Amino acid sequence: MAEIVEELQKLKQAAQEQTAVSQEQTSVVSGMIGEIDGRMKAAEVAVERYIDGASGNLPAVNLLLNSRATEKDSDGNYLSPIGFHSSGGAVLDDLRVLEYTDDDVPSEIKSQCHVEGGLVFNVLEVTLSAGSAGGDFLLLPGRPVRGRFTTGVLACLADKNGMFFCGQTMESNQLYVDLSMGSVRYWNIDGLVGSVSAQGVKLYIVGPWVSAGYISGSPLIVMSSSYGIGSSI
């Protein structure tokens, strides 16, 4: 009987020792997992910082042709680089391309029609009204793309309250410059997004643009309807 008790005590002691070893190993493994997790998070932060820094040094190019609205059709009429789609009830009353010297162009917008290098932009005058079903709208570019993208304008102004455009609630006759919105689509882009809650609001736009990826500022502007080398301005 005494031998049995002694054997049981040995087994109990061995079990306790094994448990202690297992606990120690678990602690070591947990520590290693925590260290690996910490390194992964630090690497993720480092990569994100690198991407943010690198993206600021890479040139972004406007994919929207005729952004300056200077191209003409065969009859000599200016062509608009954007179209219109009523995504939520908005009504398009009129869409005109105006030379920046036109008397209908507000002086604040005229001041934004010249950029460094001597380029001159014409002005898009888009007159919109809220419809019975709402006031959401899209100003679609001529060349839709898919994936991550940013849209924006060099400058814009609404002649009255009731306009939300490119992420900005616009005040009457207030000039807004370098507006942009980023998004992602897997069919075609939404274009410049807005909503109107009043009647007959005139939205003046200079330099609409579309760029691949997410960017924080306006991209390089394509000077003509062709991407080819040697294209005329």
Domain ranges in the chain are 1-58, 85-212
pLDDT computed for residue 35 by the predictor: 81
Cα torsion angle, 212, 215, 220, 222, sign: positive
pLDDT computed for residue 39 by the predictor: 82
pLDDT computed for residue 104 by the predictor: 96
The architecture of the domain spanning 85-212 is Sandwich (2.60)
pTM: 0.70
pLDDT computed for residue 232 by the predictor: 41
pLDDT tens string 35-73: 887 788 888 777 777 666 655 556 677 888 888 999 999
Show the low-confidence residues of the chain (pLDDT under 50). Answer: 227-233
pLDDT computed for residue 208 by the predictor: 92
